[in-house]
Structure 1
Amino acid sequence: MVTITYRNANINLDEQVYDPAEDSYLLADVAIDNAKEGMKVLEVGAGTGFVSAVLQENVDVDLIATEISPIAATCARASGVEVIRTDMFTCFKHGTMFDLILFNPPYLPTSEDEKVPGWLNYAFDGGPDGRDAVNRFIDEVPEYLNNNGMVLILISSLTGIEQVKERMKACGFKVETCDSDNCFFEELIVVKGTFRESEL
């Protein structure tokens, strides 16, 4: 394993796990800006654990993460992140609630012949329009959010930013853009959704 350091956090990397890139750094920075001390935080699909490790090093939160890949889960644990190996929310009982939920989804539009073998495909493959995992997350996440709880989702312009925002609004979220970054062929943004049960 190779170790990198960002904002005082040491993160272990594995060649079989998606390395932190612009999207990871952007989400970690926004998470630090929005998290408050004592919050109960969940990161879905933690990968290397980069975002969670950076957040818990900089803000005193009660954090847990989920990750489907056994290789990535091991990598995140090596960076000091408590990880449950599961598919998105499937490990949680009804009534398990969080104040802040983070998600850097697989958002690349991916056809069948573009898939890569093994667990690494879960880090990239967003389905034909890039929104397979994003849509599932948006539909399921309200069940695990406290009233006025927040989600921070990393979205690419390749994924259809407006479509994602509209789906979030339809699920009861007040939606705003926190920050963005222009990369080679896409714009990355972090969308913040604040959940209010009364808006459903």
Structure 2
Amino acid sequence: MGLDERREREKVYQPAEDSHLLATAARDEAAPTDRTLDVGTGSGYVATAMAETGATVYGVDPNPHACRQARENGIRVVQGDLTEPFGDGVFDLVTFNPPYLPTTPEEAVDDWMEVALAGGESGRAVIEPFLAGVGRVLTPEGRVLMLVSSLSGFDTVVELANEAGFTATTVDQDSFPFETLSILRLDHE
């Protein structure tokens, strides 16, 4: 790997424990007939897992470096914010590994890696608008798989999902010394 390629990778969130947990759940959930969207696709790791099932996969990320890397990994990707670039009722499955680390207003978010991690004071600064808007892009039977960290308030995220018209079910979970990661499946009520 050359210096330029290494610098490019440093601008994109690379797969970690949270990515693996979501990718495994997404691979289990995606069907060959599904049209899927991986929000905040980063390197395209979760999207690639869904593509392995034969599903039609799209990615979206605000980071131009992530879009480039996901494209290099074979993912059709759009540079944009959350689900905004897409039409209504398009996707059968949407996945999301949101930025969830609590950050104070004093902590500058001035590079793409910080954007990929920073979740605002509550850890839910990106989760809240995602939950408010994701229902629009889902088909009537569509569902969401979203990673939730205990750092961002698991119960509060479930309440927000309920308020947005979803029932939430935990489909997988893993504990670490500093947090518990859960995969929530969200279905229309």
Q: Which residue of 2 aligns with 1:43?
A: 38
Total equivalences in the alignment: 184
Supply the distance in 1 between the matched residues of 2:155 and 2:89 (Cα, whole angstroms).
30
Which residue identity lines up with residue 26 of structure 1 in the other structure?
A: L
- Structure 1's unaligned 5+ residue stretches are 3-12
Out of 172, 176, 189, the residue aligned to residue 182 of structure 2 is: 189
Q: SS state of the match for residue 129, structure 1? A: coil
Aligned equivalents of 2:109, 2:80: Cα separation in 1 = 20
Q: Deviations over 1:148-198 (max 9, x none)?
A: 210000010000000011111122112100101112300000011011xxx
Q: 1:43 Cα deviation (Å)? A: 0.7
The two structures have a TM-score, normalised by structure 2, of 0.92
* Aligned equivalent of 2:162, options 166, 169, 177: 169
Distance 1:48 1:25, change over 3 A: same
Residue identity in the other structure for 2:91: F
Q: Distance in 2 between matches of 1:43 and 1:83?
A: 9
Tell me the equivalent position of 2:116.
Answer: 123
Please give the secondary structure, in 1, of the residue aligned with 2:172: strand
How many Å separate the matches in 2 of 1:99 and 1:62?
A: 10
Give me the TM-score of the superposition, normalised by structure 1: 0.87
Indicate the residue corresponding to 2:148 in structure 1.
155
Q: Residue 19 of structure 1: CA displacement?
A: 1.6
SS of 2:174's equivalent in the other structure is strand
User: Do the aligned partners of 2:102 and 2:123 also contact (CA within 8 Å) in 1?
Assistant: yes
What is aligned with 1:180?
173
Where does residue 24 of structure 1 map in the other structure?
19
2:120 and 2:15 map into 1 onto residues whose CA distance is 21
The 1:172/1:96 distance shift into structure 2, 3 A limit, reads closer
Do 1:115 and 1:125's aligned partners in 2 also have CA atoms closer than 8 Å? no
Shift of 1:20: 0.7
Distance 1:176 1:123, change over 3 A: same
The verdict on how the C-alpha distance between 1:60 and 1:188 changes in structure 2, with shifts beyond 3 A counting, is same
- 5 Å-filtered alignment, 1:71-82, equals 71-82=65-76
TM-superposed CA distance for 1:87, in Å, is 1.0
Q: Which amino acid aligns with 1:72?
A: A
User: Structure 2 CA distance, aligned partners of 1:65 and 1:86?
Assistant: 10
Contact kept in structure 2, 1:176 and 1:192, CA below 8 Å? yes
For residue 89 of structure 1, report the CA deviation from its aligned partner. Answer: 1.8
Task: State the identity %.
Answer: 39
Instruction: Output the CA distance in 2 between the equivalents of 1:156 and 1:55.
Output: 22
Output the CA distance in 1 between the equivalents of 2:148 and 2:91: 21
4+ long deviations beyond 4 Å:
none
Paired amino acid for 1:67: D
Work out which of the residue numbers 82, 93, 110 in structure 2 matches 1:88.
82
- Tell me how far 1:113 sits from its aligned partner: 3.1
